[in-house]
Amino acid sequence: MTPRSNGMWVVVLSFLVAYLLAIVPFPEWAMHYRPQWVMLVLIYWIMALPYRIGIGSAWMAGIFTDILEGSMLGIHALTFAVLAYITLSVHQRLRLFSSLQQSGIVLALVGLVMTGTYWIKVMTAQTAPGGMLFLLGALSSAFVWPWLFMFLRQLRRGFDIR
Amino acid sequence: MALALALMYVDSRFAYLDRVRFTMAYLTTPVYWVADTPARVSAWIDDVFVSQRDLLEENTELRQQLLFAQRELQLLAGLASENSRLRELQEASQAVQGRVMTAEIINVSNDPGSRRVLINRGAHNGVFEGQALLDAHGLMGQVEEVLPFTSWVLLITDSRHGTPVQVNRNGERAIARGGRADAPGLELEFVPDTADIVVGDLLVSSGLGQRFPKDYPVARVTSVVHDPGQPFALIRARPLAQMDRTRHVMLVLPDNEAIMGAPVIFDSGSSGSDSLTAPADVSEDVAPAAELPAPEILQGDAP
Within a domain: residue A84?
yes
Within a domain: residue A74?
yes
B113/A78 touch (CB, cutoff 8 Å), yes or no: no
Within a domain: residue A96?
yes
Higher pLDDT, B91 or B89: B89
Res B273: pLDDT:
39
**Chain A residue with the nearest C-alpha to that of B243:** A28
Among B78-92, B103-117, B149-163, name the most confident range. B149-163
Q: Which range marks the domain in which residue A76 is found?
A: 36-158
Would you place residue B283 in the very low, low, confident or very high pLDDT band (cuts 50, 70, 90)?
very low
Closest among B81, B96, B147, B98 to B120, alpha carbons compared: B147
Would you place residue B257 in the very low, low, confident or very high pLDDT band (cuts 50, 70, 90)?
very low
Which of B103-117, B171-185, B267-281 has the least mean pLDDT? B267-281
Would you place residue B91 in the very low, low, confident or very high pLDDT band (cuts 50, 70, 90)?
low
Res A103: pLDDT:
93
Higher pLDDT, B102 or B296: B102
B39-49 confidence digits (pLDDT tens): 788 878 877 77
Res B288: pLDDT:
41
Whether chain A has a CB inside 8 Å of the CB on B3: the answer is yes
The total number of structural domains in chain A stands at: 1
In terms of residues, how long is chain A?
162
Res B303: pLDDT:
34
Would you place residue B13 in the very low, low, confident or very high pLDDT band (cuts 50, 70, 90)?
low
Q: How, if at all, do strands B116-119 and B151-155 pair? A: antiparallel
Higher pLDDT, B179 or A138: A138
DSSP letters, B162-191, are EEEEEETTT--EEEEEE-SSSS--EEEES-
The structure's pTM equals 0.72
pLDDT (tens place) for every residue of chain A, 162 residues total:
445 567 788 888 999 899 888 887 776 677 778 888 999 999 999 999 888 888 888 888 988 888 888 777 778 888 898 899 899 999 888 889 998 999 999 999 999 998 988 888 888 777 766 667 778 888 999 999 999 999 999 988 888 887
CB B222 within 8 A of CB B176: no
B109/A69 touch (CB, cutoff 8 Å), yes or no: yes
When pLDDT is averaged across residues B150-159 and rounded to a whole number, the result is 88
Mean of per-residue pLDDT scores for chain B: 75
B208-223 confidence digits (pLDDT tens): 887 888 888 899 999 8
Higher pLDDT, B71 or A46: A46
Interface predicted TM-score of the whole assembly (ipTM), two decimals: 0.75
In terms of residues, how long is chain B?
303
Whether chain A has a CB inside 8 Å of the CB on B2: the answer is no
Is B174 a residue whose pLDDT tops 60? Answer: yes
Within a domain: residue A90?
yes
Within a domain: residue A60?
yes
Q: What does the CA dihedral B197, B234, B184, B210 come to, rounded to 10 degrees?
A: 60
Say which of B11, B110, B244 has its CB closest to residue A22.
B110
User: Please, what's the b/e burial string for A94-120 (b: 16 or more CB within 10 A of its CB; e: otherwise)?
Assistant: beeeeeeebbebbbebbbebbebbbeb
Q: Please state the φ and ψ torsions of residue B208, each to the nearest 5 degrees.
A: -75, 150
Within a domain: residue A19?
no
Whether chain A has a CB inside 8 Å of the CB on B24: the answer is yes
Res A38: pLDDT:
92
For chain B positions 46-105, those within 8 Å of chain A (CB to CB) are none
Which of A45-49, B3-7, B232-236, B272-276 has the least mean pLDDT? B272-276
Distance from CA of A142 to the nearest CA of B (A): 19
Distance from CA of B45 to the nearest CA of A (A): 19
Residue type, A126: Q
Would you place residue B171 in the very low, low, confident or very high pLDDT band (cuts 50, 70, 90)?
confident
Is B282 a residue whose pLDDT tops 50? Answer: no
B109/A70 touch (CB, cutoff 8 Å), yes or no: yes
CB B275 within 8 A of CB B112: no
**Chain A residue with the nearest C-alpha to that of B25:** A67
Higher pLDDT, B233 or B289: B233
Is B270 a residue whose pLDDT tops 70? Answer: no
A121/B111 touch (CB, cutoff 8 Å), yes or no: yes
DSSP letters, B207-236, are -TTSSSPTT-EEEEEEEEE--TTSSS-EEE
Within a domain: residue A137?
yes
Within a domain: residue A115?
yes
Distance from CA of A116 to the nearest CA of B (A): 13
Res B12: pLDDT:
63
Say which of B5, B31, B107 has its CB closest to residue A78.
B5
